[in-house]
Amino acid sequence: MNEAQLRECAEVVGHDFVDWSLLESALTHSSFTAENPDEASNERLEYLGDAVLGLVLADEMYRRHPDFDEGLLTDLRKSVVNETTLGNAARRMGLGRFIRLGRGEEAAGGHDKTSILANAFEAVIGAVHLDAGTEIARRLSLRLLRDEIAAAVPGLRTLDPKTQLQELTQDLDLGSPSYDVTDEGPDHEKTFFAEVVVAGRVRGRGTGRTKKAAEQEAAAHAIESLRATSE
């Protein structure tokens, strides 16, 4: 990745790095390192960024909602810090075009896979944390996730897409949704593919690094489909 590409990505992210190697590592998927063994993948930075985001959102929800109990605060945090939401935020930013992928993953459309986008988002936050400290990472996280934080609905205990879809199909008298999940890849790096069926029709599809994440993404797409057809 050349300097111009890194600087363009930094502009998209909104942070001028001191150590540009951190950003490059944050954008390096494991499929790329499998083909380039001398490169480090973004998995360690992803781990760190996940922890940073968890703390930032826990603190933000705690301050915003002083009357909420720990259960609801946890639900609100999870409604933002999850694969689907972070993937969508990264997609909105245009982060995908900067991610370094292996040839096979690139051919499979990896630049727009929600799981890869979400992991890169977390890795970038981890990189900013190391580059500039916790406070800068906190401010950046809150800015990049402003819309997602605003969409967290106070008073709703179950915010995940599968639960929302279940409630929506009941409201529309369509019965309960069912999920069909398959997977591919080695045990240490499986990709799961989910389809959700409502009233005999496939209404949404999703992918993820876990079965749950794939089902949640499929449910989110099904919600969009059902709301569009019922308007």
Selection from 124, 56, 61, 137 nearest residue 87 by Cα: 124
The 10s digit of each residue's pLDDT in 40-53 is: 999 999 999 999 99
The confidence score (pLDDT) of residue 156 equals 47
CB 127 within 8 A of CB 181: no
- How far apart are alpha carbons 37 and 106 in whole angstroms? 17
Provide the sign of the torsion angle of the four alpha carbons 4, 103, 107, 49, taken in this order. negative
Looking at the predicted structure, is the pLDDT value of residue 68 above 60? yes
- The residues near 156 (Cβ < 8 Å, ≥ 6 apart) are 75
- How far apart are alpha carbons 115 and 178 in whole angstroms? 22
At CA 106, angle to CA 51 and CA 26, rounded to 5? 25
Model confidence band, residue 94 (pLDDT cutoffs 50, 70, 90): very high
At CA 97, angle to CA 96 and CA 101, rounded to 5? 80
Fold adopted by 3-151: Ribonuclease iii, N-terminal Endonuclease Domain; Chain A (1.10.1520)
Alpha carbons within 13 A on the beta-carbon side of 16:
0
The confidence score (pLDDT) of residue 159 equals 55
Average pLDDT over residues 176-185: 94
The answer to which of 45-54, 92-101, 184-193 has the lowest mean pLDDT is 184-193
DSSP E strand stretches across the chain: 178-184, 191-198, 201-208
- How far apart are alpha carbons 59 and 138 in whole angstroms? 10
pTM: 0.69
- Locus of tokens 């989110």: 220
CB 31 within 8 A of CB 120: no
Where along the chain do its domains lie? 3-151, 161-230
- Which DSSP state fits 51? H
Domain 161-230 matching CATH 3.30.70.260: the answer reads: no
Distance of CA 182 to the CA centre of its chain: 20
Average pLDDT over residues 214-219: 92
Model confidence band, residue 155 (pLDDT cutoffs 50, 70, 90): very low
The residues that are catalytic are 50, 122
* Percent over 70 (pLDDT), the chain: 96
